[in-house]
Amino acid sequence: MVLHTCDNPSCVNPSHLFVGTDADNMRDKTAKGRTPHGEAHWRHKFTDTQVLEIRRLAAAGMTYSAIGRLLGVGDWTVGRIAKGLSRREMTNAME
């Protein structure tokens, strides 16, 4: 693959181009912050407000199963959010 250091798809300046693999392209994309997170990700299930509420309820002692029943998801999903394993970009939002 030919990758761009300047991220301009129409750029053909040889000094802005480099050869890499698909894995290199994914690392480059992530390093440059071009991967969607949270509500911007196409597979998100919860709004940022809901994520904060899940974490608040869990911190207050509500079980993951009870929270999951309220939201129609499994306790595994709730647990990952409550522990900060999912939606990690919001980990500091409660502090």
pLDDT digits (tens, 9 = 90+) for 19-39: 999 999 888 888 887 776 656
What is the number of structural domains in the chain? 2
Q: Could you tell me if 21 and 59 lie in one domain?
A: no
45 and 88, same domain (yes or no): yes
Q: Domain range holding 56?
A: 39-94
Same domain, 30 and 47: no
Are residues 67 and 52 part of one domain?
yes
DSSP 92: G
Specify the pTM.
0.55
Give the HSE-up count for residue 27: Cα atoms under 13 Å, Cβ half-sphere: 5
Residue 31 shares a structural domain with residue 50: no
Q: Are 53 and 88 members of one domain?
A: yes
What band does 10 get if pLDDT is binned at 50, 70 and 90? confident
pLDDT digits (tens, 9 = 90+) for 26-85: 888 888 877 766 565 556 678 888 889 999 999 999 999 999 999 999 999 999 989 988
